[in-house]
Amino acid sequence: MELRIYNSRTRKKELFKPQREGEVTLYVCGVTVYDQSHIGHARSFIVFDTIVRYLEFAGYNVRYIRNFTDVDDKIIRKALEEGRSPEEIAERYIREFHEDMEALRVEKATYEPRATEYIPAIINMIKDLLRLGFAYAVNGNVYFSVEKFPGYGKLSGRNLEEMMAGARVEPDPTKLHPMDFALWKASKAGEPKWESPWGLGRPGWHIECSAMSTSLLGETLDIHGGGKDLIFPHHENELAQTEAVTGKPFVRYWIHNGFVTLKREKMSKSLGNFLTIREMLVRFHPEVIRMFLLSSHYRSPLDYTEGAIHKVEDGLTRMYTTLEHLSGYSRTAADADPPRELTGALDSFQEGFYSAMSDDFNTARAIGFLFDLIKKINRFLHELPETPIPPELKDRILQELKTAGELLGILKEDPKEFLEKIKTKRAEHYTVDVTVIQNLVDQRTLARQQKDWARADAIREELAQRKVILLDTPQGTTWKLQSE
């Protein structure tokens, strides 16, 4: 199946063809390690984790960089506030980032370089820009001259006048043009610094990514990605300085994910309206967070609300419940005719799911096809509980669910264990005693077996008052807490 990707540079979907057959080079801008990562970061890394999973599923060998910016003004400020060194601050938040990603089932990248490990490569790239006339040095600082690069603005689609109008640029008499950006910054007291031909100093933000990507993946990348907020100025500046040095196209396909918003406002640390990944993990299962962040197309904004994520939690619980019932379905017969309800549902799912994933990694549509399959499996299990199915068909359905789950990073747990974890998390949130609830459910089951319907109804009513929803199935009664 052909893969089409929306290219932020051309603003249209394009057929994906990497430089080398069977290989993909991918660079995604990582975090600046001065604080805990928030749910907006999680969206970007889960989106690109899913993209990598699908590319590998499609047969590509993916070489993937996710970097760390470990020298930056924000890191320096944090270090001064806490009386620590910038290195200590960076180490702490790199460790916490790895812990967060592991919890969210985000797989490690092929390379996870730190900017400070590439100072020699950064200095060499700046030397080349100076030699080629694209940069100039002033008082120990080195700036890129945007007017010297004819294609400046081609990624964001804006000219210099429009950039000036939309940006808050501090006047700087040492710059030839207000939009010129720092490649090297002269050192200040108390800051990390390195020797360079222009004196002691440290690299600018944009040059770090260009040096790391070209050092590890070559002069032209197949895919470069990150959040939409990076298109300008970060990715625009990366593109300009890299193409100025190499004379080659820097990136073939640019991919940018939309923001996570809170009350329709972009979630960010600067605005103080963010939820950290750690806060989210206390309340929600990692797979719930993953599926919530994949429930909208990656290019669209995603507004966080309690109701929206609880709806996703309910949906994932329904998937696991179906998986548990199907796994335990005992009416199999080798000579049985495959039920059309299931064979047709499976064929529709396969066509729809993979078509959606090949259409610009449309996880929202793919999840929709997954829910359709779950709904049809449930209908079969509940409406035709006595109908046998061939063992190979049951195994095929379970395998398809496993494969789809693997691509999305969900359905990876034992169903019983997952459902218990969801009950526990909701019980903690609503301050509910799980043991008491289960005891009432067991009493109701016994009352029904004894045909004491009045007692069974009374217990159901009591459970409803405790916000407990009962699910009576051929395999027995399960329960969950309502979302709100």
Encoded tokens for 179: 């939009």
Distance CA 239, CA 65 (A): 17
In the chain, what percentage of residues exceed pLDDT 70?
94
pLDDT tens track for 262-276: 877 776 666 667 789
pLDDT tens track for 331-367: 888 888 889 889 999 999 999 999 999 999 999 999 9
Q: For residue 388, what pLDDT band results from cuts at 50, 70 and 90?
A: confident
430 belongs to a structural domain: yes
- Do residues 21 and 125 both lie within one domain? yes
| Residue 367 and residue 295 in contact, taking contact as beta carbons nearer than 8 Å | yes
CA distances from 264 to 304, 312, 357 (A): 8, 19, 27
Domains identified in the chain, total number: 3
pLDDT value at 484 more than 60: no
pLDDT of residue 272: 64
User: What is the residue range of 449's domain?
Assistant: 422-481
339 belongs to a structural domain: yes
Encoded tokens for 436: 């008491």
pLDDT value at 289 more than 60: yes
142 belongs to a structural domain: no
Residues 6+ apart with CB under 8 A from 351: none
pLDDT tens track for 185-236: 999 998 999 999 999 999 999 999 999 999 999 999 999 999 999 999 999 9
Distance CA 181, CA 233 (A): 9
195 belongs to a structural domain: no
Q: For residue 479, what pLDDT band results from cuts at 50, 70 and 90?
A: confident
pLDDT tens track for 49-73: 999 999 999 999 999 999 999 999 9
- Do residues 374 and 269 both lie within one domain? no
Q: What is the mean pLDDT of residues 447-470?
A: 80
Report the SS3 class of residue 470. strand
The mean pLDDT of the chain is: 92
- Do residues 400 and 437 both lie within one domain? no
Distance CA 68, CA 66 (A): 7
Strands, sheet with 302-304, edge to edge from the N-terminal-most edge strand: 265-266, 260-262, 302-304
290-294, 414-418, 454-458: the lowest-pLDDT one: 454-458
Residues linked to residue 202 through DSSP beta bridges, in sequence order: 185
Report the SS3 class of residue 34. coil
Distance CA 456, CA 473 (A): 16
Task: With 0.75 as the threshold, say if the pTM is over it.
Answer: yes
Distance CA 76, CA 218 (A): 31
Task: Report the CATH number at residue 311.
Answer: 1.20.120.640
- Do residues 327 and 256 both lie within one domain? no
